[in-house]
Amino acid sequence: MQIHILKKRNQITLISGVLIAIAFISNWTIGNMNLFVWSLVIASVIGAAPIAIQAYQALRVKVVSIDVLVTIAVIGAFLIRNFEESAIVTFLFLFGAYLEQRTLNKTRSAIKELTEMAPESALKQMENGEFEEVEVDDVDVGDVLLVKTGAKIPVDGTVLTGEGSINEASITGESIPVGKEKGSSVFAGTILDNGTIQIVADRVGEDTTFGKIIELVEEAQDSKSEAERFIDRFAKYYTPAVLVIAFMVWLFSRDIELAITILVLGCPGALVIGVPVSNVAGIGNGARYGVLLKGSEVIRDFSRLDTIIFDKTGTLTAGNPSVAEKGYYGDNIDHALSYLASVERESDHPLAKAVLEEIGETTFSSVENTEVVKGGGIVADVNGHRIAVGNVALMERENIEISEQAKADVARFEKNGNSLVLTAVDGKLKVLMGIRDQIRPGVKQDLLRLKKLGVKNLVMLSGDNQGTVNLVSRELGLTEAYGNMLPEDKADYVKKLIEKEGQIVAFVGDGVNDSPSLALANIGIAMGSGTDVAIETSDVVLMNSDFSRLPHALGLVKATARNMKQNIVIAVGVVLVLLASLIFSEWMNMSIGMLAHEASILVVILNGMRLLNYKLRY
Amino acid sequence: MKSATIQLEALTCPSCMQKIEGALKSLKGIDQNTATVSFNSSKVKLNFDEEKVSIEEIEGAINKLGYDVIKTKVK
């Protein structure tokens, strides 16, 4: 019976609303007092039933909930035969709860979308060798699974047979499909775009990368900051206190009307819901944009940031050398490039890879009489031509002719921090390439955005030499930059800023060799492509190592922190205004109080919902 | 001791959490320290002694408060 009534809450709300409408319409049109009173009585009784049941259940487990306050208030109104108020208050309370549920679900939608991407079933190989569909919970490590085109990869595993391409957007945020073949790793929650593969399960359920991401986000949305825990503790004593005050008022004034009005006005409503709503919407927005935020404590610290420290290699720069500048001299450059590629193809020098990547597709010729000159480069015969590939010293040794133009280029490229690869064909310099670890595209604009968002210091720490560090720093407009730093030096620097200078510091790194600094900083931000270490040691993860998500993350946490404050002000403000108008005005009554409360709850939820659409404006 | 994760229908009032927590703590065989009800994810997590209390009894206690259990995982 009890459960039945609770399940029918929405229908009860509707009926009670219709009855109240009938009561007032009949009163205004035909002036039938009987119909007016009886409609309101019935509306009060059926409306109060679910609230009273909830109140009773709460009291049984020793909780004074809002339902208790409202139930007593309604009974009080009923006793003094104020059926108008009892009916309207119950209706507003029920209708408010209905709207709350609808709007709350919206604020949670972003995170729900994420959790719903979790795979549910798998085709598992049974003992007879056949594949059967089972729930993903029934898959154990070592099981062999079949994945068909269009299906989700159910677990983290390794491809046994077959090949196909997989969309890994759910893990990396990168939607271009990745080719997989025997021996490749595949991840739970990613989608097989085409092909059919058999995989062996390496990690299942919550141990998979996707499972960890979901768990992190789910825990984050319910993690509580110090302020929130305070509000919770406060609410625990607040509601019983309202009950006691109302009782005292009745005891001394013998004014039931006043006492029950206090009960309704005192409901904590928006206060307890305001902060969690901002939290869940902010974290949800982050999850959509590839920014994983680990809870409301992180949001608070992150939003008050003074300094961001960046690791250089792999964070501000791409992490692997590539050709940054080049110069061509004379004609037949295409031939020169194809000879260069042919020579470099046989070399395992780190710069050779960058050169080959730059040239791309070309025709390769056979290379003969190769001579490796230590600390210089390579000299060889290709297609009957004498080819020299190497640095300036090699060119001098080979008596290569270098034009004035080329000499100027050499000087300029060197000044820009490049390593040089010169290519000469038959004694003439043809190609000059400057190779360095380049700054990631867009980083400069992103750093500007961070400054606009109020970050005071942008610092770079690197293991590289001070010269290179200075070049990068000048190009990016950083506040400070230090080279020759070991991981422990970086950690010491972070510690110094926090302890000696009292700054709030974020450290941005790749999560592997910087873990001490990530852990020490107030906010550790990992540029992770979904790696476990990054997820575990940091407070914020930028998915797919995408640096451009950092300004969004900072803007978002600032907006979320603001949103929480707004909600607290709205909630506290409404209670204060209501209580003040009870004392100083004539018009305040239970129904208006309830209306104001329900409205304030909706306002804080709607305010929180704005965060779901947050986008960085500049 | 086994650990259970119970997914409930969407919780809307923070006092729901107090009620559910209260109801769980009145059952025998539940590890009081591990029992948590989370508001936004609408999940109950707890460790329980399967010799003293069954998962059905735990679900029943939540059901009786008027909250639907959507999915339960026991490990």
How many domains are there within chain A?
2
Looking at the domain assignment, is residue A367 inside a domain?
yes
Are the beta carbons of A280 and B40 separated by less than 8 Å?
A: yes
Interface test with A, best of B24, B26, B39, B68 (most A CBs within 10 A): B39
Confidence of residue A531 (pLDDT cuts 50, 70, 90): low
Tokens of A412: 């300029």
pLDDT at residue A173, as a whole number: 61
CATH of the domain at A535: 3.40.50.1000
Looking at the domain assignment, is residue A75 inside a domain?
no
- Which of A436, A468, A496 represents a domain boundary (last residue)? A436
Q: Does A439 score more than 90 pLDDT?
A: no
Instruction: Search chain A and give the residue with CA nearest B68.
Output: A7
| Interface residue A99 vs chain B (CB under 8 A) | no
Residues paired with A457 in a beta bridge = A307
Query: What residue type is A376 in one-letter code?
Result: G
Rounded-to-integer distance, Cα A68 and Cα A87, Å:
16
What pLDDT digit, counting tens, does each position of A65-116 carry? 888 888 999 999 988 888 888 899 899 889 888 888 888 888 888 777 777 8
Rounded-to-integer distance, Cα A69 and Cα A297, Å:
32
Rounded-to-integer distance, Cα A589 and Cα A587, Å:
6
Q: Does A440 score more than 90 pLDDT?
A: no
Same domain, A314 and A445: yes
Same domain, A313 and A446: yes
Q: Is the pTM for the entire model greater than 0.90? A: no
Q: Does A236 score more than 80 pLDDT?
A: no
pLDDT mean across residues, chain A: 86
What pLDDT digit, counting tens, does each position of A251-296 carry? 998 888 888 888 888 877 777 788 888 988 999 999 888 888 888 8
CATH of the domain at A361: 3.40.1110.10
pLDDT at residue B14, as a whole number: 66
Rounded-to-integer distance, Cα B2 and Cα A184, Å:
36
Same domain, A333 and A428: yes
Hey, is A367 helix, strand or coil? strand
Tokens of A222: 């319910």
Are the beta carbons of B18 and A272 separated by less than 8 Å?
A: no
Domain that holds residue A432: 322-436
| Interface residue A104 vs chain B (CB under 8 A) | yes
Same domain, A378 and A507: no
- Which of A400, A417, A436 represents a domain boundary (last residue)? A436
Rounded-to-integer distance, Cα A460 and Cα A465, Å:
12
Rounded-to-integer distance, Cα A365 and Cα A344, Å:
11
Rounded-to-integer distance, Cα A122 and Cα B51, Å:
33
Confidence of residue A425 (pLDDT cuts 50, 70, 90): very high
- Architecture per CATH, domain B2-74, reads as 2-Layer Sandwich (3.30)
Q: Does A472 score more than 80 pLDDT?
A: yes
Q: Output phi, psi for A341, to 5 deg.
A: -60, -40
Q: Output phi, psi for A338, to 5 deg.
A: -70, -35
- Which of A487, A518, A545 represents a domain boundary (last residue)? A545
Which residues in chain B have Cβ-Cβ distances shorter than 8 Å to A60? 22
Residues paired with A121 in a beta bridge = A135
Same domain, A349 and A309: no
Same domain, A429 and A444: no
Same domain, A367 and A509: no
Are the beta carbons of B13 and A66 separated by less than 8 Å?
A: yes
Q: What is the mean pLDDT of each run of 10 residues along chain B (75 residues)?
A: 87 78 85 84 88 88 85 84
Same domain, A347 and A420: yes
Residue A437: active-site member: no
Rounded-to-integer distance, Cα A552 and Cα A303, Å:
12
Is there a contact between A400 and A427 (Cβ–Cβ < 8 Å)? Answer: yes
Rounded-to-integer distance, Cα A41 and Cα A20, Å:
9
Confidence of residue A449 (pLDDT cuts 50, 70, 90): very high
Top-confidence range, A55-64, A153-162, A318-327, B38-47: A153-162
Instruction: Search chain A and give the residue with CA nearest B25.
Output: A61
Same domain, A426 and A343: yes
Residue A455 CB neighbours (<10 A): 18
pLDDT at residue A507, as a whole number: 93
What pLDDT digit, counting tens, does each position of A113-145 carry? 777 888 888 999 988 888 889 888 888 899 999
* Closest alpha carbon to A187 in A210, A169, A213: A210
pLDDT at residue B71, as a whole number: 86
- Using CA atoms, how far residue A599 sits from A261, A565, B25, in Å, is 17, 18, 34
Same domain, A391 and A374: yes
Rounded-to-integer distance, Cα A63 and Cα B21, Å:
10
The residue written with tokens 């508001």 in the block is B39
Rounded-to-integer distance, Cα A141 and Cα A133, Å:
16
CA max distance for chain B: 33
Same domain, A335 and A419: yes
So what's the ipTM on this one?
A: 0.83
Same domain, A337 and A428: yes
Are the beta carbons of B13 and A100 separated by less than 8 Å?
A: yes
The mean pLDDT value for A477-486 works out to 89
**From the candidates A67, A143, A156, A311, which is the catalytic residue?**
A311
